[in-house]
């Protein structure tokens, strides 16, 4: 039941909620795609979500985003050789940035025939927090510049089936977020049918906040505001599962 396209839904909530650079509060000098295009392949979805950012934040993030995108593809290929990388765009990026490739190559070890990479977790965290902040702003009209109350980021392959089911579930909404935010406008109203023991069925309406599939097998996210917590879940390349929570 995933939504396939990102529509540029007009945000009717108060513009003052998201003002200036989303990340540092400085002057808004540019528009930043969330997710950054380095996580997607062409043809790109028509209208990617954008948030305001300053030039300095924008530049800082793009280095780390290139690192994370190249790291993920190198891990999946078990190699940093551009010819082995499945995503052409990332193969090209590694060709163009020999320094980054050398860095990844130096982080590579082979243990019992398994290729492993030592990761720079600070850079991964920096990127995931940035993406989560972007989704919270774009979907929920919430500015989350503080440190999150919880941060989780691990390969889907390391999660148990129960954990994956729990992580992947869409959100049945008990609390409706910022009136007019994009997230609110996107929600799907679903009906659940319950068969009762006396064989009369009853129907319960519920509002479903579902995952947004920005590009299949490349990037999806779900942003939830339950009144107490802002939770953003992200899956990059169907490999890296991330969950960031800010308690209000």
Query: Residue 55 CB, nearest distance to Zn ion (Å)?
Result: 8
Cβ closest to Zn ion, residue 30 vs residue 79? 30
Mark residue 38 as left, alpha or beta (left: phi above 0; alpha: psi -120 to 50; beta: remaining): alpha
**Count, residues near Zn ion per rule CB under 5 A:** 6
If one asks whether residue 104 binds Zn ion (CB under 5 A), the answer comes out as: no
- Considering only residues 22-51, where is the footprint of Zn ion by CB under 5 A? 23-24, 26
What b/e sequence results for 115-145 when a residue is b if at least 16 CB atoms lie within 10 Å of its CB, and e otherwise? eebeebeebbbbbbbbbbbbbbbbbbbbbbe
Cβ closest to Zn ion, residue 108 vs residue 125? 125
- Considering only residues 222-241, where is the footprint of Zn ion by CB under 5 A? none
The SS3 of residue 69 is helix
Cβ closest to Zn ion, residue 53 vs residue 74? 53
If one asks whether residue 57 binds Zn ion (CB under 5 A), the answer comes out as: yes
If one asks whether residue 211 binds Zn ion (CB under 5 A), the answer comes out as: no
Query: Residue 132 CB, nearest distance to Zn ion (Å)?
Result: 16
CA torsion, points 50, 53, 55, 58, in degrees to nearest 10?
A: -60
Give CA–CA dist 118/105, Å, rounded: 10
Q: Which of 54, 90, 230, 245 binds Zn ion (CB under 5 A)?
A: 54
Give CA–CA dist 189/208, Å, rounded: 6
Strands (E), the chain: 30-33, 50-53, 108-111, 114-117, 150-155, 171-173, 188-195, 201-209, 212-215, 219-225, 229-236, 240-247
If one asks whether residue 246 binds Zn ion (CB under 5 A), the answer comes out as: no
If one asks whether residue 18 binds Zn ion (CB under 5 A), the answer comes out as: no
Query: Residue 51 CB, nearest distance to Zn ion (Å)?
Result: 11
Cβ closest to Zn ion, residue 64 vs residue 225? 64
Cβ closest to Zn ion, residue 18 vs residue 94? 18
Which residues of this protein are in contact with Zn ion, per CB under 5 A?
Answer: 21, 23-24, 26, 54, 57
């Amino acid at each position: 039941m995933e939504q396939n396209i990102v529509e540029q839904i007009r945000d009717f909530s108060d513009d003052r909620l998201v003002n200036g650079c989303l990340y540092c509060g400085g002057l808004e000098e540019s528009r930043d795609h969330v997710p950054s295009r380095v996580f997607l392949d062409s043809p790109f979805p028509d209208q990617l979500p954008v948030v305001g950012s300053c030039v300095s934040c924008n530049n800082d993030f793009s280095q780390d985003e290139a690192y994370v995108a190249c790291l993920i593809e190198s891990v999946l290929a078990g190699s940093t050789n551009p010819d082995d990388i499945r995503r052409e765009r990332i193969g090209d990026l590694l060709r163009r940035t020999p320094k980054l490739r050398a860095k990844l190559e130096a982080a590579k070890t082979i243990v019992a025939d398994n290729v492993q990479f030592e990761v720079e977790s600070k850079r991964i965290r920096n990127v995931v927090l940035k993406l989560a902040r972007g989704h919270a702003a774009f979907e929920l009209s919430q500015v989350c510049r503080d440190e999150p109350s919880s941060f989780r980021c691990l390969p889907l392959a390391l999660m148990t089936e129960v954990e994956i089911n729990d992580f992947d579930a869409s959100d049945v909404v008990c609390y409706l977020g910022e009136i007019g935010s994009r997230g609110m406008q996107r929600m799907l109203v679903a009906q659940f049918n319950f068969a009762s023991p006396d064989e009369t069925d009853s129907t319960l309406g519920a509002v479903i906040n579902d995952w947004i599939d920005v590009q299949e097998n490349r990037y999806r996210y779900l942003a939830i505001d339950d009144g107490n917590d802002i939770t953003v879940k992200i899956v990059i390349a169907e490999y890296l599962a991330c969950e960031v929570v800010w308690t209000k």
